[in-house]
Structure 1
């Protein structure tokens, strides 16, 4: 079977790859950030906005098999439209409830209400709504699960970016950012150097922690996986919580705006 990726997937993969040139990663990051606006931008307007030369940008989009800027933005716009149509169809709260009744069996939670705490989810969505961007921190195996979440949230109007844990490539949060840590035990912060760890974990912005049970990270909101087995089942629950946040955000904010 042949699997194909959309240009949105390719751009995001480049933006999330901290092992390639910082220039390519920056261009990809900006393309992803403006993916829903690029249709209305001329080449000059876009280059002025991201402060990149024509030659640098041309080399980048040719590597994406686009012959020119118009082909690039047409392709990106098309897949944004397709993905958004799929997203609005898939954001179904009744399906979330049905799924929670199945997945709870992988956890130690006693009730669905405890497993799926709507108040916490709504509070998280509120913080996402009012923040400038969401920054993700965690091991590669955990944050790699957020790929679809990043794309879907961007199309719902919110930028979600992934940070490296390397000292020289980590993203430091601003006060208007919302940070999310993926760490089963909290030990992931020990990968960071002391100054970087302090800047990220002690920043005054709001924080979400997705963890197994207890953690050394202090956060404003905590989603506890509370797993019976800490193996591949963990990924199911993490993906489920991401889907819950996305779907709830869609109903609370995006759909309400569209219905006005």
Structure 2
């Protein structure tokens, strides 16, 4: 998904620097379905910046006029949405599942391929106001397409910081997805889990270990498998969640 949405995600995926560029990119992604109806003054107000700051931001992407920028962004949103709807009929999860079944133990395979957990997560995402991602840069980078696709389906997606000085507190209406293979982010950032839980949002975790109270909210990636298999399982989760959500809720966009 090499398009304008990906470029905007680069700004919000650096939450250690929440400057005016971060504010504008977040606003554009949150309103990407409405952008064609918004004036530059309205965008500036929603981003809490001046019109001149918006124009400076657009020049980063080579746009001299806001009207051209919003037309291109609108096209990219609808092209990707159309691609996703077309690919729904081409999805063949059984191919990937047969590969996973060959390398995982029977118990682990059925945990990874649990359709009930997938359905519950998609229902929770649909109800949530925003999707908040927390985790290591490596795992978050793997979720870039996942982020962009949910933005296209009208769901605000933000990456939160692991570090105390830059965190925001997820609201009870948010859904938090934590990505960490070993849980080391909790060692690097004291009080992170307590901070994320303080307003009682629904939280899911993906990795080797479950740091949450309920197994229902855990997406396991087994230990003692090759890194290629780890990445395959992570991508399997992200892709299955995306297309299951698109099939159930994407047509409402």
Whether TM exceeds 0.5 here: the answer is yes
Distance 1:218-1:141 versus aligned 2 partners, 3 A rule: farther
Q: Where in structure 1 do 4 or more consecutive aligned residues deviate above 6 Å?
A: none
Q: Is the 8 A contact 1:36 1:80 kept in 2?
A: yes
**Distance (whole Å) between structure 2 residues aligned to residue 226 and residue 118 of structure 1:** 18
Secondary structure of the structure 2 residue equivalent to 1:143: helix
Q: Unpaired runs of 5+ in structure 2?
A: none
Quick one: which of 215, 226, 234 aligns to 2:210? Answer: 215
Listed as ranges, the matches of 1:56-95 within 5 Å are: 56-92=53-89, 94-95=91-92
Moved more, 126-135 or 222-231: 222-231
Cα drift, residue 105 of structure 1:
2.7
User: Cα offset for 1:221?
Assistant: 0.8
Unpaired runs of 5+ in structure 1? none
C-alpha deviation, 1:18, in angstroms = 3.6
Q: Equivalent of 1:49, from 46, 49, 54?
A: 46
Tell me the SS of whatever aligns to 1:245: helix
Distance of 2:105 and 2:199 partners within structure 1: 32
Contact 1:106–1:227 at 8 Å: present in 2 too? no
Q: In structure 1, what is the Cα distance between the partners aligned to 2:17 and 2:124?
A: 32
Q: Deviation at 1:23?
A: 1.3
- 3-state DSSP class of the match of 1:17? coil
- Counterpart of 1:149 in structure 2 is 146
Normalised to the residue count of structure 2, the TM-score between the two structures is 0.90
Q: TM-score, length-normalised on structure 1?
A: 0.88
Please report the RMSD computed on the Cα atoms of aligned residues, expressed in angstroms: 2.2
Map 1:97-246 onto structure 2 (within 5 A): 97-110=94-107, 113-194=110-191, 196-212=192-208, 214-219=209-214, 221-246=217-242
Offset at residue 198 of structure 1 (A): 1.8
Work out which structure has the larger RCO, using CA pairs closer than 8 Å and 6 or more positions apart in sequence: 2
Question: Aligned in 2, Cα 1:143/1:32: closer, same or farther, shift over 3 Å?
Answer: same
Structure 2 contact 16–161 (Cα < 8 Å) conserved:
no
Task: Give secondary structure in 2 for the equivalent of 1:90.
Answer: helix
Conservation of the 8 A alpha-carbon contact between 1:133 and 1:160: yes
Q: How many residues align?
A: 252
CA separation of 1:68 and 1:189: change in aligned 2, threshold 3 A: same
Contact 2:207–2:221 (CA under 8 A) maintained in structure 1: yes
